[in-house]
Amino acid sequence: MRVPIIEGLNNYINKNKIRFHMPGHKGKEALIDWVNLIPQIDVTEIEGTDNLHSPSSIILESLKLASKTFKTKRTYYSVNGTTAGIYAAIMSSTKPGDKILIQRNCHKSVYNAIILGKLNPIYIYPNYNNEYNIVTDINPDDIEKALSKHGDIKAVVITNPSYYGVCSDVESIAKIVHKHNKVLIVDEAHGSHLIFSNKLPKSAIESGADIVLQSTHKTLPAFTQSSMIHVCSSRVDLERLETMLSIHMTTSPSYILMSSLDFARAYMAKEGQQKLNTLIQNIEKVTSLMNNIKGVKIFNGRDKKVCFDFDITKILINLTGININGSRLEEILSRDYDIQVEMSDIYYVLALATVFDEYEDLEKLALAIEDIARKEVYRIDKVDKVDYEYIKPKTRISIYDAFYNEVKYVEITKSIGKISANFIIPYPPGIPILCPGEEITDEIVKYINYLKTIKIPILGLSKDSNEIKIIK
């Protein structure tokens, strides 16, 4: 009997790789014997359990404890990931036809919420640092300008921290948003750990956000798809938020996932804070070691000239100075050193560290980087550098109308003047060149072709990357 998923997972487990990737528990033994417990606790709403959609006993108690631990007015669990939380947060703060201010490089779930809620997005663009080749923070002044120009915007959605660990000045942004009497929603999917250490950037929870969405599984020891929705102010209509959560979440919530959220909260409340501060000390030590290796650069985003703040648990390693690009470095680490990182782009690999990483894990990463930097065989002729530019296309029809329109593929060179039916997103930097409903111009076509020549991965094109989807 073939069980390909189980076989594939067993193959990965047997390789015994050091995991610098999600989820935050890193596959390590915790205080609970999950291996034996999981089959037993995979139950439904029966006597002695509870109902996530109308909690009255054990789930309600767990939610109250989570609210106390994370210092919120109210906390909800999502077993459909942060995606369901984003849908609920946005759609509880808006009505169809409303305007919403969002980061152009927000998570896809924000765009999906715009489609589902039939909303009209206004975009703000984050800064881009050419020296470090990285998208950085949001300028609070840009939010002020957008809200002053579009007084009918109903909500503001920002991402903090970014996938790369870059943080914006959420406190200043919150003051601006509230001055204009709007709701601030922060996608803090990558920052559920921030509130547990004053050595890290300030959490959006403590910075004045109204709703904060966290992927607890990413940086804390919860299972994948386990998230929390934190309400932090009285500006939020709780009844409407709860209705939207009920709409966007499964009617069969997993007790395995809810239990892991309960555990992650308890772990951090009991010993996780000390473990997190120890982790930070260990990261500072090993990144200092790696920075002294010839040809190795570790991104130091805490330099205020680069961005407002930076989460150092996101270890960004750059070897392009010795002609090893990010994707090649990821491959080498996995194949030759049994170290699996979270992701890579042209310039960086991202090693994601959590409270379940010991010093020995970090030291092995540093030793591997030192060995790789020493070996000429790993180097290529050159690393292409992308001259990134912001192109701000004209919206011809709404994302919603574009999504439900008839579409077809055409050659990129024949798409000028047409309306895009897809998101076109280069990595790096992960900011859409085009969104559905926007006009394809000669400038955009030339830029796409330029990115293709230097082999930048572009999401949204056809499989052979020669065609683009347009509105018929």
Residues above pLDDT 90, as percent of the chain: 86
Instruction: Assess if residue 460 is contained within a domain.
Output: yes
pLDDT at 91 over 90: yes
Distance CA 153, CA 159 (A): 18
Residues 201 and 57 in one domain: yes
Residues 232 and 129 in one domain: yes
pLDDT at 423 over 80: yes
pLDDT at 194 over 90: yes
At 295 the pLDDT is: 95
Residues 261 and 281 in one domain: no
What does 265-303 look like in DSSP terms, one character per residue?
Answer: HHHIIIIIHHHHHHHHHHHHHHHHHHHTSTT-EE--TTS
pLDDT, tens digit, for every residue of 137-161?
A: 999 999 999 999 999 999 999 999 9
Mean pLDDT score of the chain: 95
Angle, helix 81-92 to helix 238-248, in steps of 10 degrees: 140
Distance CA 222, CA 292 (A): 35
- Of the three residues 202, 237, 266, the one that is the final residue of a domain is 266
Residues 58 and 143 in one domain: yes
Tokens of 213: 């969405």
Q: Which helix (H) or strand (E) covers residue 239, if one does? A: helix 238-248
Task: Report which of residues 111 and 427 the model is more confident about.
Answer: 111
pLDDT at 289 over 90: yes
Residues 252 and 307 in one domain: no
At 429 the pLDDT is: 79
Residues 336 and 450 in one domain: no
* Residue 341, beta-bridge partner list: 20
Residue 436 · residue 398 · CB < 8 Å? no
pLDDT at 465 over 90: no
Distance CA 285, CA 272 (A): 20
Instruction: Assess if residue 183 is contained within a domain.
Output: yes
pLDDT at 302 over 80: no
- pLDDT tier at 464, thresholds 50, 70, 90: confident
pLDDT, tens digit, for every residue of 341-392?
A: 999 998 999 999 999 999 999 999 999 999 999 999 999 988 888 877 788 9
Residues 212 and 63 in one domain: yes
Instruction: Assess if residue 305 is contained within a domain.
Output: yes
Instruction: Assess if residue 387 is contained within a domain.
Output: no
Instruction: Assess if residue 7 is contained within a domain.
Output: no
pLDDT at 303 over 80: no
The DSSP code for 324 is: B
- Of the three residues 378, 408, 433, the one that is the final residue of a domain is 378
Residues 195 and 293 in one domain: no
At 200 the pLDDT is: 97
Mean pLDDT computed over 89-108 = 96
CATH code, domain carrying 277: 3.90.1150.150
At 33 the pLDDT is: 84
What does 2-15 look like in DSSP terms, one character per residue?
Answer: --HHHHHHHHHHHH
The span from the first CA to the last CA of the chain, in angstroms, equals 46
Beta-strand pair 343-344/425-426: unpaired
pLDDT, tens digit, for every residue of 233-287?
A: 999 999 999 999 999 999 999 999 999 999 999 999 999 899 999 999 999 999 9
At 393 the pLDDT is: 93
At 390 the pLDDT is: 82
pLDDT at 29 over 90: no
Instruction: Assess if residue 201 is contained within a domain.
Output: yes
Enumerate residues 6+ apart whose C-beta is below 8 A from 31.
263, 267
At 291 the pLDDT is: 95
- pLDDT tier at 232, thresholds 50, 70, 90: very high
pLDDT at 28 over 90: no
pLDDT at 300 over 90: no
pLDDT, tens digit, for every residue of 164-193?
A: 999 999 999 999 999 999 999 999 999 999
Residues 409 and 280 in one domain: no
Q: Please tell me the chain's helix, strand, coil percentages from 3-state DSSP, rounded to the nearest 5.
A: 40, 20, 40
CATH code, domain carrying 70: 3.40.640.10
Q: Which of 83, 79, 85, 86 is nearest to 253 (CA)?
A: 79
At 456 the pLDDT is: 83
Low-confidence winner among 67-81, 241-255, 267-281, 419-433 (lowest mean pLDDT): 419-433
The structural domain count of the chain equals 3
At 385 the pLDDT is: 81
Q: Find the domain containing 81 and state its range.
A: 34-266
Residues 259 and 277 in one domain: no
At 49 the pLDDT is: 94
Q: Which residues of 38-57 are buried (b: 16+ CB within 10 A; e: fewer)?
A: eeeeeeeeeeeebebeebee
